[in-house]
Amino acid sequence: MDAAQLARWTRFAAKGGIGRGTALRDCVAEGPEDLMFMQGDEIVFLMSVADGRYLGYCEGVVGQFSGPDVQLHGKLKKAVFARR
């Protein structure tokens, strides 16, 4: 992920993304695209990537994670894309 893309996702995370959740267990990143977090960390959902996998933000890092590892707070919003 390039710096401009990371900056866009970070700004989107600051606005709350499409939802928030709390990590249910520790997750160690198995690849460079994975998000690492500890139990109790707050995760911001950024977008759905694949069935049960999401792009998320935690403590300044953007990466993919498995949905069942995070307790969602409420419902996920639908992402709205705007052109500039």
Task: Walk me through the domains of the chain, giving residue ranges and CATH numbers.
Answer: 3-72 (2.30.30.40)
What lies within 8 Å, CB to CB, of 17 at 6+ separation is 44, 45, 46, 47, 56, 57
- pLDDT classification of 2: cutoffs 50, 70, 90: confident
Q: What's the pLDDT score for residue 1? A: 79
Angle at 23 between CA 21 and CA 24, to 5 degrees: 120
* Strand pairing class (42-50; 19-23): antiparallel
Express each pLDDT in 11-65 by its tens digit: 999 999 999 999 999 999 999 999 999 999 999 999 999 889 999 999 999 999 9
Q: For residue 13, count CB atoms less than 10 angstroms from its CB and return exposed for 0-12, middle for 13-18, buried for 19 or more.
A: buried
